[in-house]
Structure formats: C-alpha cells, structure tokens
Amino acid sequence: MDIEDPNLHIKPGAVLFYLTFKVLGTSTLASQSLVFDDAVLFNAAWKSDGTEFSVQHVPDAVQRSEKEALSTLQASIRPNPTSGETTLAIKADSKGKARLALFDAFGKRMFIRDLELTGAMQEFLLPETTPLPTGVYFWKVAGKDLSAKGHLVKQ
C-alpha cells in the first residue's frame, strides 16, 4: 500500500463514523458527564434535522448560581470566508490570558497565538491566515474558565 496515493487519503468533509448516545438515567456526578476536548480537534454534533448543538454538558449538580457566575467569552473571525488576512473579534467579561489556536481539517495545528484579554471588546489582526491554502479550518480561543470556537473557510 502506497501512503502517498491520493486515492487513499481522507477527503476534507468526509464522514468517517457516526456516534449515537442514549441517556439511560440521571446522575449528579460530574465525573460521569460526557465532555469533549477541543485541544487537538474541533468537536461538533448535529441533530437529525441538521442543526448544530453543543456537546458540552453542564451536570445537574452545578447549582444555578454557579452557572451564572461563569465568565463569558464571545469570539468570531471575519471576513469568513476569506482569501487573505482576517480579524479575530473577542468580547470577554473578564481580564486575563487566552490562547488562539487554528487547526486544519485533519487536526494539524497551523498556528497558535497568546492573547491578553482586557475585559472589553478587542480585535486582533491575523496575518497568519493569509498564506494558508484553500480549505476549512477550525479555531479555538481558550482562557481560564473561558472558551469559544468556530470555523474559518479560506478561499
């Protein structure tokens, strides 16, 4: 088998497998919650009607006041789709350090950048996206108790 044969490569957007989960009962143990780690590869899930939904579960054991106390982070990359440089817009309600990582469709990290959040709306130019080849990329911004993720289409 020749691993350089392009017919043996996984094509971007190809479905490799499906996972179906069924909740069998309730639990108050946070350790039994289903949680995905987006550190290497972006995780996404879709309902049968095609709408995307979150796969991060907040267990019932977390009290409402604790949920409300969590910091929020909103982020987006524009323009999207793009053929050149992009801008990351971030709105965080707290100050601190964060990290932006961009991955290709196969999970290979394309670049990583450390950010300093000011607790207000910020914009960061991303010249690193200019030389990227055409394709779909996944990005994640993560900080202490904060995260946001999305995708970038490079034309």
How many domains would you assign to the chain? 1
Whether 8 is in a domain gets the answer no
Whether 49 is in a domain gets the answer yes
Whether 13 is in a domain gets the answer no
Q: For the residues 92-118, what does the mean pLDDT come to?
A: 89
Residue with the bigger pLDDT between 36 and 118: it is 118
- Which CATH number characterizes residue 52's domain? 2.60.40.1930
Residue 72, pLDDT > 90, answer no
Residue type (1 letter), 90: I
- Domain encompassing residue 111: 30-154
Query: What percent of the chain is modeled with pLDDT above 90?
Result: 30
Whether 91 is in a domain gets the answer yes
Whether 3 is in a domain gets the answer no
Whether 16 is in a domain gets the answer no
pLDDT digits (tens, 9 = 90+) for 7-57: 777 777 777 777 776 777 766 555 555 666 655 556 666 677 777 666 554
Residue 5: per-residue pLDDT: 75
Please name the residue ranges forming H helices in 11-87.
64-69
**Sign of CA pseudo-dihedral 18, 35, 24, 69:** negative
- 110 in Cβ contact with 128 (< 8 Å): yes
Whether 14 is in a domain gets the answer no
pTM of the full predicted structure? 0.56
Whether 63 is in a domain gets the answer yes
